Structure 1
Amino acid sequence: MKPDQTAWFDANLIAILVAINPRGLKGVTVKSQFGPVRDAWLGYAKDLSAACGMQILKAPANISAEQLMGALDIEASLQAGSLIMSKGLLKRVEGNLLLLPMVERMDLQAIALISQALDEKNTVDGDTHFGVIAFDESDSADEFISPRLLDRLAFELYLDQFAMADISQSLEVDAQDIHEARKLLPSVKCDDEYVEVMTKAGLSLGVISLRANLFALETAKTLAALRGLQEVGQSEVIDAARLVYTPSKRMQIPPEMEQNDQADQNTDDHQDDRDSEQQPEDPQNEPETSDQQNQEQPSKEDLEDIIVEAVKASIPPQFLRQVKQSTRSGKSASNSSGKSGAVQKSFFSGRPLSSSKGRPNDGRRLDILKSIRAAIPWQRLRGMALSDSQQKTVRSKIDFRSEDLHIKQYLRRRGTVTIFLVDASGSSATQRLAEAKGALEELLAECYIRRDEVAMVSMRGAKAEIVLPPTRSLARAKRNLATLPGGGGTPLAAGFRAANEMAISLERKGLTPIIVIMSDGKANVNLNGVGGRAGAHSDALMAAKELRLKNHRLLFVDTSPKPEVLAQELSSAMAAQYFPLPFTSSGKKISQAAIQLANY
């Protein structure tokens, strides 16, 4: 059988296990874009749910806390003259499955409420349990599912690896099989040795979540119930670990362990080869020996190794590489595309947030529904304070007060402007400027996607000069860069002051400035335009401390052939990220460092 076909059967098996034991397994995360493969898997899961008497309730991607927990029913309250609360989605989903589309874009408050409900309803009361099917449709590194929810779901599927030919066949399970498995599940037992082996195998794989080990145990029991067994066996343990220990749950595995494991494996293979060469051949004893091996059960250590190898073999290599790269690069590197700049609240445009109390003046928008919800609970008390004639007049109206008014809020991401401060002095200016131009053009290409801008300040002679104002125009940038001269002194202090003033001006306009300094740190012109290294370095340190006081995002690129002590001193004084300039792919590396700094 082809590996992709086997993986598709595993995806079917996960849907079956969630249908049998949604309380213990809690759900599955499906990493997939919209398409026929995902529709086929969801249709398979719906058929299983219908056979079990369950429904799959779909939650909107922008669901609010009030929709989840229940809120005041305005229409019913107005008609009845009393407070009537509507049922929230978490109440209606009891005994069913909750489908979360685009979970990577879901509000964090909604994720927290769903996670809390999974912990409470699936443990306190067996009649209120529910499962979750979360669709992760992120196509870039800056969008990802909340780790809080991911840790609470037993399984993780990658459906983008399948073609239509791989899903032509599916596992056949009827409603009777599921009902019998549910009936048998409470009586299934698992030996403590198997629990210990699964836990040790998880630690070997880098699994640090306690929930993952509990999910592996629940999965093994559910598999045994599905297969009609009273006790968990070796095959159930291996399959459970293979299905549960997914890449997201083993991201913390250190590379040194993998290298040591590989070295130990190679050593064991060589030792086995030597033993097989030294062992004399006896054809008469071969059948008896093979029969004994088939009857012997593997030891704890051997079973642990079998589980580890089974888990590694079941993970698609491309996804494992992505996880390792994201772990090494960190959060700032993972956000290297798509969005940048700080976020701020706005009353006019952006991503909708929960409304806040306030008056709709200065162009702020009134949230009518939120204001009505805030006013209705007080109608009876406010009516008691009125006279009989006033009550007859306002009986058909809502008595609003200023404290009831709510205005809409939005979350808007500020634009980013990267300021390149280039040391264009000396005999090697041509090389530095060529690297700066390459970095600028690389960064400009990203700006078309990120909607950012770049600017350039040149330091040469006795002053600093703005050679490229903030722009997104690639043609204008190339035109200005082509005519940029080089040579002369190095007025670092004047350059730092010019970049600081530009950054302050951009912050006043609501933009996020990033300053990328390209210099060897050897200042020889002070603020007065007079030569002298001692005075010039002292002024440069003072200007660097001024940059630090403004708390700008700074990247100091050392253009010396070797890391320069003066450059490191200036970088430390301004609290900048120090970056020695490489000689290969420098433009790309500088632009990547600036983009990572933008998302810090």
Structure 2
Amino acid sequence: MSAQADSWDRAALSVGLLLFAPRYLAGAVIRMRASPDRNTVLDSLANLSTRRLHPAISDEQLFGGLDLSETLKHGQLIENNGFFNNPCAIMLTMAERCGPELAAKLAHQLDRHAGHCFLALDEGAEPDEAAPPALTERLPFHIAPEGKAPAGWAPVPAGTAPVPPREVACTQGDLEALTMLAARFGIDSLRAPLLALRVARAHAGMAGRNKLHAEDLEAAACLVFPQRATRMPAQEDAEEDAPAPPETETGTDAGMQNTSDLPDGDMLVDAVKALLPADLLAGLVPAGTLRSSQGDGAGQKRKGNRRGRPLPSRPGRLDGRSRIDLVATLRAAAPWQPMRRAAQPSAGGLLIRPSDIRLKRYQEQSDRLLIFAVDASGSAAVSRLNEAKGAVELLLAQAYAARDHVALVSFRGTEGEILLPPTRSLVQTKRRLASLPGGGGTPLATGLQQAAALATQSRGKGLTPTIVVLTDGRANIALDGSADRTHAAADAARMARVICAQGIQTLTIDVSKRPQPALKALAEQLGGPYLALPRADARTLTGAVSAALEA
């Protein structure tokens, strides 16, 4: 059987189990792009009568809230029903765009075991475009079949005399087998073996069995563990993890009770290992090194009352600049109308108090500006400039989704120069970086001064600047242009403290053959991380900058 056909068989089993016990299993992640094959899978789940949930849904729609018109009409508090008032099957569309706030709210509903069944429809195209982990780790199935659906594909049906999953008996040995298997694949969440146990019980119940067999545990492990694995199990793990067999008396009742129908541990390991994703090791990167795919900008978040994404309104006083949230104000005033009407029977209209006033709030996320301050002095100038040019071009190629701007400051001889003003234009960048001068002294302080001035100017335009210093640390030209190493180091330290005091994010990259303690000390004065990359090429620089700034 081919791998593609096998993936569709697993999808058929997952969908069949989900149709058999939707509330008990709680849902699945369906990672498929829009296509006729995805429609086939979704059509097979039509019996669940799903309700669609958009990632931008408001809290009032999600949990219910005050029905303003009915409350004002009847003079008493009347609330709307929310999405979660009654157990239902919920399809989260565009799950890869689900923010952490909504993911936490949905995860809370799953932890409450309120009887909901979640189908997270993940349409991500890249590895870092995926449904949030807070949600996926609580859903047992990851349905992502490969290739085209086989002719006549359909979910696996239940047997003629199914047993409810909660009535399927399990033993301590079943739990231990699933837990040890999860540990061998580096799965540190205890939810995984618990979800696998639920799947095993559903698998047994669908076949009409009232206790778990080896095939139930194997099916559960193959459906739950592969997408959660973080490492390949070593061969020696079997010997290290296998407990010594207990000494029992033959023929006794205790010996009969310890007899188990569990599958051999290596068989389970091999079954799960055969289904591991091909890019498992490539996907294991430190947390925070992947760029967000939501395209919301990488700069600082700033709250205001004029523009940006709406935030929940807050109580406040009108000052001539803030904008009033009329609906929220009426909601705050509505419950108090009967009491206020009784206190002021002659007053007409709505009775609004200053404590009812709610002001609008917005959150605007600024674009980020990466300012490369490159040391173009000495014999290695050409190499460093080529590395910087390549890194700038690579970062700009990724800048459109994250709204990054890039600028380049070069310092050599006795002065610093802005070679590339802030831009997102790759064509303009290549034209300006075609030929750059190099050689001469190292005016590090002047380069920092130019970068700081550019950062301050960019802040006034709404950008969030980050200075990336690329140098070998051997400063020998002071701010006044004199060739004095002592004064040059003191001036560089002083400019570093100025940049740190302004709260500008920095990253110092040491490109000398050996790490320079003086440059590490300068990075501490700048208040940013220090990286020693003696043989860095453009791609290494790009990866280091992205990982350091996103961590």
TM-score (norm 2): 0.87
Q: Residues 133-155 of structure 1, C-alpha deviation per residue, up to 9 Å, x if partnerless?
A: 11223334554433222222222
Asked whether 1:331 is paired with 2:288, we answer yes
Separation in structure 1 between the aligned mates of residue 201 and residue 76 of structure 2, nearest angstrom: 49
Q: Residues 412-439 of structure 1, C-alpha deviation per residue, up to 9 Å, x if partnerless?
A: 2211111111212223322322222222
Cα drift, residue 381 of structure 1: 1.9
Summarize the alignment of residues 4-19 of structure 1 with structure 2, pairs less than 5 Å apart: 4-19=4-19
Summarize the alignment of residues 392-411 of structure 1 with structure 2, pairs less than 5 Å apart: 393-394=348-349, 398-411=350-363
Cα drift, residue 221 of structure 1: 1.3
Of 87, 90, 108, 1:116 maps to: 108
Separation in structure 2 between the aligned mates of residue 82 and residue 264 of structure 1, nearest angstrom: 67
SS in 2 for 1:89: coil
| 1:162 aligned residue | 147
Separation in structure 2 between the aligned mates of residue 85 and residue 333 of structure 1, nearest angstrom: 42
Asked whether 1:444 is paired with 2:405, we answer no
Asked whether 1:501 is paired with 2:495, we answer no
Structure 1 27/447 Cα, relative in aligned 2: closer, same or farther at 3 Å?
Answer: closer
Cα drift, residue 44 of structure 1: 0.5
SS in 2 for 1:457: strand
Opposite residue 135 of structure 1, the aligned amino acid is: L
Opposite residue 328 of structure 2, the aligned amino acid is: K
| 2:242 aligned residue | none
| 1:429 aligned residue | 381
Separation in structure 2 between the aligned mates of residue 106 and residue 371 of structure 1, nearest angstrom: 29
Query: How many percent identity over aligned positions?
Result: 33
| 1:275 aligned residue | none
Contact 1:426-1:488 within 8 A present in 2 as well: yes
Q: Residues 179-228 of structure 1, C-alpha deviation per residue, up to 9 Å, x if partnerless?
A: x42x5434321232222212111111112221211111121111111111
Summarize the alignment of residues 157-556 of structure 1 with structure 2, pairs less than 5 Å apart: 157-159=143-145, 161-163=146-148, 165-166=149-150, 168-171=152-155, 173=157, 177=160, 180-181=161-162, 183-247=163-227, 249-251=228-230, 253=231, 258=233, 260-261=234-235, 303-317=264-278, 321=279, 323-335=280-292, 338=295, 339-358=297-316, 365-388=323-346, 390=347, 393-394=348-349, 398-482=350-434, 484-556=436-508
Structure 1 38/362 Cα, relative in aligned 2: closer, same or farther at 3 Å?
Answer: farther
Separation in structure 2 between the aligned mates of residue 231 and residue 114 of structure 1, nearest angstrom: 32
SS in 1 for 2:299: coil
Opposite residue 75 of structure 1, the aligned amino acid is: S
Cα drift, residue 238 of structure 1: 0.5
Separation in structure 2 between the aligned mates of residue 374 and residue 440 of structure 1, nearest angstrom: 52
Structure 1 499/336 Cα, relative in aligned 2: closer, same or farther at 3 Å?
Answer: farther
Separation in structure 1 between the aligned mates of residue 494 and residue 482 of structure 2, nearest angstrom: 16
Structure with greater proportional helix content:
1
Separation in structure 2 between the aligned mates of residue 426 and residue 490 of structure 1, nearest angstrom: 8
Separation in structure 2 between the aligned mates of residue 244 and residue 448 of structure 1, nearest angstrom: 36
| 1:44 aligned residue | 44
| 1:595 aligned residue | 546
SS in 2 for 1:90: coil
| 1:280 aligned residue | none
Cα drift, residue 463 of structure 1: 2.4
Unmatched 5+ stretches in structure 1: 50-54, 123-127, 266-296
Cα drift, residue 529 of structure 1: 1.7
Separation in structure 1 between the aligned mates of residue 368 and residue 126 of structure 2, nearest angstrom: 19
Separation in structure 1 between the aligned mates of residue 203 and residue 468 of structure 2, nearest angstrom: 57
Contact 2:128-2:290 within 8 A present in 1 as well: no
Contact 1:558-1:578 within 8 A present in 2 as well: yes
Contact 2:229-2:276 within 8 A present in 1 as well: no
TM-score (norm 1): 0.80
For this pair of structures, how many residues does the alignment match? 531
Separation in structure 1 between the aligned mates of residue 314 and residue 492 of structure 2, nearest angstrom: 47
Opposite residue 166 of structure 1, the aligned amino acid is: P
Contact 2:28-2:119 within 8 A present in 1 as well: yes
Separation in structure 2 between the aligned mates of residue 172 and residue 540 of structure 1, nearest angstrom: 70
Superposition CA RMSD, Å: 3.0
Structure 1 362/40 Cα, relative in aligned 2: closer, same or farther at 3 Å?
Answer: farther
Q: Residues 148-171 of structure 1, C-alpha deviation per residue, up to 9 Å, x if partnerless?
A: 222222222224x232x4364223
